[in-house]
Amino acid sequence: MKTPANRWPGQSWYEVEAGARAWPVLAGTVRAEVAVVGAGLAGISTALELIEKGCRGVVVVDALEPGGGASGRNGGFVFAGYSLAGDALLAQIGRERAARMHGWTRDAVARVRGRIDRYAIECQVSDAGVLLADWFDEPEVLSAWAGRMKRDLGFDLEPVERAAMADYVRSARYGGGLLEPGSFHFQPLRYIRGLADAILAGGGQVFGQSPVRAIRRQGAGWCIECPQGRIVADEVVLATGGYDRRLVPTVQRALQPVATYVAVTEPLGERLDAFLPGGVAVYDTRFAFDYYRPLPDSRLLWGGRISMAARSPGAIRRLMRRDLERVFPGLSGVRFDHAWGGWMSYARHEMPLLGRTAEGLWHALAFGGHGMAPTTLAGAILAEALTGKPERLDEFSDWPPRWAGGVTGRLVGQLIYWRAQLRDAWKDRRLRSQ
């Protein structure tokens, strides 16, 4: 018999650690100034920003629960930037705008950290930081990239020389690295639940297990239909990520849902400190990189791979074990107690979809691959626009919803990923054979 823990997407360690929580189901008719569809970090952040600005008629509704999708199932890294690489952002919009927009994501990192303190959210925050490890051991390349980020974006990364890497992570796979000041890692599901509690405390409403069947215009406002009730709202924000592509096809056809995978080991005790003495979260310089971090009970969270496939937790365990043992051979044979996957949402241009449709529907979508800071930023920007200050929202008009190609687009995306994997593997073999 297949239980939720051994079929896609699997039960996350976050769900087990935080415990189950019941959220009210939307029933009857609820009136709202602003209704938010989707209780991931983009939707929850938008709602909380509005409440912090004095709006009390805020309602959030989700088919699962707050953090039930990608926002509560990811690696838990909080660091600056967008999915679109910094060099690509510079090439597209120039130094001045790119520096400004990248700076907003750095501010968003600080915003997340500040909210943890402000609302006293117990979410296992670790200020040890996030470290980019040089898989290919190319110090000149890494240093040149860091120099461009500082010169052109004002993004100041702290170099870690190869000899000092053992203070952070001990693996023969890496050269040096770059540490991002102000970055941190945490339990994302606990964080989102904490923000949802802040919304409730501020007079808003949050509903779970209430899938939205339709969003339609009703007079000057909107009507949101759910199985047991409806919301009548002045404004609606769509923030469903990769977990729904049918409610507003004109926007959601621009989304490409992409699967990623995470596993968590058994408790490792003192063995964990032998590999990660600095407590940092780590990712590497490959396109198809690993990402991992220590957990408070001496477990190691390990993530990586992207594909279009909904793999079983058993298959995820096998993939993650193979990747882990390449980096830490000393952990060969370690048991994974938890394994799961989830859907990220991407746009073809790799930037978030932030804006408003011709019909007047606000949206915040496509945060795959780099979500915690940009979703938080999206909440701030949409709340500004909803309260009469659209200037920052206008900056994202360069990246409108463009059709992602449907099934063909997913196949092309998979082929691009495989090609990048092969390129990484070829480069790795070439450099290590020298």
Residue 350 has pLDDT above 80, yes or no: yes
Q: Cα-flanking dihedrals φ and ψ of residue 33, to 5°?
A: -75, -45
Mean pLDDT for the stretch of residues 232-240 = 98
Determine, yes or no, domain membership for 429: no
Mean pLDDT value of segment 30-52: 98
If DSSP codes are grouped into helix, strand and coil, which group holds residue 27?
coil
pLDDT over 50 at 62, yes or no: yes
Neighbours of 49 (CB within 10 A): 22
> Which DSSP helix (H) or strand (E) runs through 391?
helix 391-394
- Domain of 361, CATH number, reads 3.50.50.60
154 in any annotated domain: no
Q: What is the pLDDT of residues 316-329, one digit of tens each?
A: 999 999 999 999 99
* pLDDT higher than 90, residue 178: yes
Structural domain contains residue 337: no
Looking at residue 410, its pLDDT comes to 75
In tens, the pLDDT along 390-428 reads 999 999 999 999 998 887 877 777 787 778 778 887 877
In a domain, 286, yes or no: no
- In the predicted model, what is the mean pLDDT of residues 162-180? 97
- Total domains, the chain: 1
Q: Which domain holds residue 70?
A: 26-74+189-249+350-411
Closest among 422, 335, 70, 19 to 190, alpha carbons compared: 19
Answer for the pair 110, 182: CB distance below 8 angstroms, yes or no: yes
pTM for the complete prediction? 0.96
For residues 103 and 86, give the distance between their C-alpha atoms in angstroms, rounded to a whole number. Answer: 11
What is the arithmetic mean of pLDDT over 278-295?
A: 95
On whether residue 128 sits in a domain, the answer given is no
327 burial class (0-12, 13-18, 19+ CB within 10 angstroms)? buried
* CA torsion, ordered 73, 79, 84, 90, to nearest 10 deg: 170
Q: Is residue 359 part of a domain?
A: yes
Please state, in angstroms and rounded to a whole number, the distance separating the CA atoms of residues 271 and 101: 41
User: Tell me, what's the pLDDT at 310?
Assistant: 86
pLDDT the model gives residue 399: 97
Does 293 map to a domain? no
The pLDDT of residue 424 is: 81
Tell me whether residue 104 is in a domain.
no
Please spell the DSSP secondary structure of 310-368, one letter per residue: ---HHHHHHHHHHHHHHH-GGGTTPPEEEEEEEEEEE-TTSS-EEEE-TTS-EEEE--T
The tens digit of pLDDT for each residue in 126-149 reads 999 999 999 999 999 999 999 999
